[in-house]
Amino acid sequence: MKQLFTDLLSHLKTKVAALILVATFVSYAAQAQLSEKTHFDIAKYLDIYNALFKELNMYYVDSIDVKKTIQDNITFMLRRLDPYTEYFPEEETSSFVEQTTGEYAGGIGALISGESGNILIREPFEGMPAALAGLQAGDALLEIDGVSLEGKDSSFASEHLRGQPNTNVKIKFRRTGETKPREIVIERKRIQRNPVIYYGALPGNIGYIYLSEFTTHSASSVKDAFNDLKTNKGIKSLIIDVRDNGGGVVEDCLEILNYFLPKGDTLLTMKGKFRQLDRTYRATQQPIAPDIPIAVLVNRSSASASEILSGTLQDLDRAVIIGNRTFGKGLVQSPRQLPYNGSLKLTTAKYYIPSGRNIQAIDYSHGNDEDSISYIPDSLTSVFYTSKGRPVRNSGGITPDFVTGEKKMPTIAFYMEYGNENLFFNFVTAWRIKHPQIAPPEQFVLSDSDYEAFKTFVKSKDFNYDRQSEKALASLKEVMDFEGYLPSASEEFTALENKLKPDLDRDLDFYKNVLSDRLTKEIMRQYYYAKGVVINTLRNDDDLKKAVEVLSDTNLYENTLTAKQAADK
């Protein structure tokens, strides 16, 4: 009977999913265009779904968790479309609002996480109640308003930390290196993250703005930062840094473009399934800085609105783009209200920047299954042209005008940062006990002795990590054995195998520069918040150096924006 239940649900998920989506959420204008057969199919399969679930609920041998089963089915259905279409039930609506606005009604302003049975303060946000009250990264939460957190997860703690602004919350916690718990009372405040983590003036009258995300406050934050730099620092050119910015609210991105582009310029076009829903967005106001030279820094993690910003400025020959090719997300999501206070973030269109190109890198037209996902190869892309005739290509993200060396994270660093051990984070929380004060971000350099201490810490944790070369070698051995090549090449294979044997000491030394950099970032985050990370990183930043070089050379800047280089064939 259980197998029958599983088979029926699987059949339901795979056959009816897309039809349910269309039936429930398509607009009235769009419904008018649906064929009579489509209307019939929608009604037919919804009837089947309704009857099927009633039968399961009535006669299945065990009780069915209706809410969980239906929500799991919805989640499965949406995941088959693309990774960006998401359903938020009423209890998760606050998370949806936070994604788009960068704020939530009331809380202490800290990122928390669960680790080894503990709920830890992962990062208190600068200027927020948690930081102002003295909470630190690594503090283990024990109780909230007298409610024990033993056996609870981070979502439970987050729910209890939030509340109405101007109300108090009492927290019992234990600090790293201490045995006696502490107690503290914090007044909740309305939490609003500032998307401009840092801005400042560089030598040569060059302004710099780091924009971490696109929320409903991004445009005003960028405008305030720019006006301050222009008025009080006398900047003559500007660097906008959207590296690691995964996007967000498109409207604020368009507002930022308005600051630098002539009124009337086409900024973006969105095209969906139905022509009635297509939109073209133009600059609607006089720019505040129509002529200031601009460089935009991007990397592989710059996506969505970051690509609209950089791609539109590139297509209109208004800025030089520097860094690495961007992520390639050319899909637009729109919020839709659902019954019972639910929300849907739904992919409704593709966007096209002024040259007419769409930069979507992954083809989801056949669904989001692993077997159906495919990256659009460069050989199948087309050439488009900027306003001054420079060739650019669609698909695969925005290719910078100046491509710099891409810094890749080796496997060992990935496991240290994101694995269960959280080695960077845990080392720094303990390291802080002996280092209550350190040099400011502009001056701090990790010493060799501190790195040696980190190596000792890592080895004391019996740290293990999957090495991709080792996995590839094992697969190669299987293939060679199957095809009969292993006996004749056993000597060479054994020699290669010996060279690739795991050696933690060797890898800690070989990747010292990368690991020191990641460790330094964690130190900066715990002492000086996200702003400190940016300031410290800029001291030795190849992308920034290139941007300064280009903006300091008027001929290089202007020639880059007018050169009609031959398009790749």
- Angstrom distance (rounded) from CA 112 to CA 173: 13
Q: For the chain, what is the mean pLDDT?
A: 88
Count of other CB atoms within 10 angstroms of residue 317: 17
Q: Which residues face 191 on adjacent strands? A: 104
CA dihedral 348, 352, 353, 356 (to 10 degrees): -170
What is the average pLDDT across 555-561?
Answer: 96
What is the average pLDDT across 426-454?
Answer: 97
Residue 509 has which token pair? 């030394």
What is the average pLDDT across 18-43?
Answer: 59
Q: Which residues face 238 on adjacent strands? A: 207, 294
Q: What is the bridge-based pairing of β-strands 320-323 and 294-298?
A: parallel
Interval 378-397: pLDDT, tens: 777 889 999 999 999 987 89
The residue among 197 and 494 whose pLDDT is bigger is: 197
**pLDDT grade for 468, boundaries at 50, 70 and 90:** confident
103-192 folds as: Pdz3 Domain (2.30.42)
pLDDT at 372 over 60: no
Give me the pLDDT at residue 378, please: 75
Give me the pLDDT at residue 9, please: 45
The residue among 165 and 376 whose pLDDT is bigger is: 165
Interval 334-367: pLDDT, tens: 888 999 888 899 999 999 999 999 999 988 877 7
In the block, residue with structure tokens 């500007």: 238
pLDDT at 513 over 60: yes
**pLDDT grade for 205, boundaries at 50, 70 and 90:** very high
Cβ neighbours for 84, distance < 8 A, ≥ 6 positions apart: 329, 331, 333, 345, 347
196-333+345-406 folds as: 2-enoyl-CoA Hydratase; Chain A, domain 1 (3.90.226)
Among the ranges given (85-94, 310-319, 396-405), the one the predictor scored with the smallest mean pLDDT: 85-94
**pLDDT grade for 19, boundaries at 50, 70 and 90:** very low
Catalytic residues: 304, 315, 329
What is the average pLDDT across 423-447?
Answer: 96
Give me the pLDDT at residue 101, please: 64
Helix or strand (DSSP H, E) at 317: none
Strand segments (E) across 212-278: 237-241, 266-272
Q: 272: which DSSP letter?
A: E
Cβ neighbours for 160, distance < 8 A, ≥ 6 positions apart: 144, 145, 147, 169
Cβ neighbours for 154, distance < 8 A, ≥ 6 positions apart: 112, 113, 114, 119
Question: Hey, where are the domains in the chain?
Answer: 2-80, 103-192, 196-333+345-406, 411-466+502-547, 468-499
Nearest Cα to Cα of residue 254 among 223, 296, 226, 282: 282
pLDDT at 565 over 60: no
